Structure 1
């Protein structure tokens, strides 16, 4: 059977996200066209969040393999439900695997573990600025956990549909993702403590809990 891989560019996903955001702006303009006091900084955060989510989708779920012959053994190999075991094993292989190339092995571990930690860090910084309920630690942790598990389950579905040639569904990814959410939230809290300390009003307002897109004052927010 011929092997075909459907390659959906990550750039295309980002472009689609940008188009959807433009649609949002048009709808808001139609609804609030008589109000000129737009809180633009809030809109910048929303825009960054949309692009960020599109990038997460493109990185974690694409490309999608189609047409590969089924391999049951690969399906089983693509599932790991043992926490931290594979990471510890990889660390123990430094200086042994890949012909003893320790630098390459360390880089591989850092890219895998560090990449999964970094993946959801922006989520716990951006989401609290858009939705008040995610200012609470338990809520942002739950959001990060649900997103991470959903990604892994979707990757598992892709692997099963592609006959075992998709991505690896790994509980360690969930652990690293949640750790990243925790670190991102701590950075968010520390950043806005500094902002409150130095009385940076425009940023204080951004994090004040106000949900209005439009300011009630007569001055345009920038």
Structure 2
């Protein structure tokens, strides 16, 4: 009876912990806005910073959570690490097996990174630093997914298709930024001050 209750609590935790990064991001965003409002220094860049904080919370929530936790009585807690595989896919041709929602979802998921990073910082408004940020971020996520899968904390596969589609999404976001910068340069410059 006790094991059932513990397993139910852990299952509920597993379902709820995907929202944790989003909630943390919201709290941080509120603190940033409140601090600047208290100092009477709310700037246009604050909105972009808050959007980036919220975006990072959503990105972490979607790509890394939920984290699986198992009770000591669960068979998963008794297995040696690394048996869950395969947890790496390096075959780019597997993109044919992906649904359009998966491919376009990855592209859309990383568009805000390319856009917001360049909007907040003049450094990331340049292609090379923006691309490095995008590729570095997706590599960190894929590495974290690999480690989590190896230790049974997650059930995601490290995938070269994700790396490519995430990078394309970030580049698309950067191109949207450049379009906005071309159409209304004064607005972008004001945010980057």
Q: TM-score, normalised by structure 2?
A: 0.80
Contact 2:87-2:150 within 8 A present in 1 as well: no
Aligned to 2:46: 43
Structure 1 pair 22/159, CA: closer, same or farther in 2 (3 Å)?
A: same
Could you say which structure has the greater relative contact order, defined with CA pairs below 8 angstroms and 6 or more residues apart?
1
Q: Distance in 1 between matches of 2:41 and 2:88?
A: 51
2:119 to 106, 122, 129: 129
What do residues 139-184 of structure 1 show as CA deviations (whole Å, max 9, x unaligned)? 0100000100100110111111118x61111011001111111111
2:27 to 19, 33, 36: 19
Structure 1 pair 137/159, CA: closer, same or farther in 2 (3 Å)?
A: same
Q: Distance in 1 between matches of 2:150 and 2:183?
A: 48
Matched, 1:170 2:174: no
Unaligned runs of 5+ in 2: none
Matched, 1:150 2:140: yes
**Secondary structure, aligned partner of 1:66:** coil
Cα offset, 1:73, TM superposition: 5.1
Aligned to 2:58: 55
**Secondary structure, aligned partner of 2:68:** strand
Name the count of aligned residue pairs.
Answer: 178
Structure 1 pair 187/63, CA: closer, same or farther in 2 (3 Å)?
A: same
Unaligned runs of 5+ in 1: 91-107, 211-222
**Secondary structure, aligned partner of 2:84:** helix
Q: CA RMSD in A?
A: 2.5
Cα offset, 1:59, TM superposition: 0.4
Contact 1:129-1:206 within 8 A present in 2 as well: no
Structure 1 pair 38/23, CA: closer, same or farther in 2 (3 Å)?
A: closer
Q: TM-score, normalised by structure 1?
A: 0.71
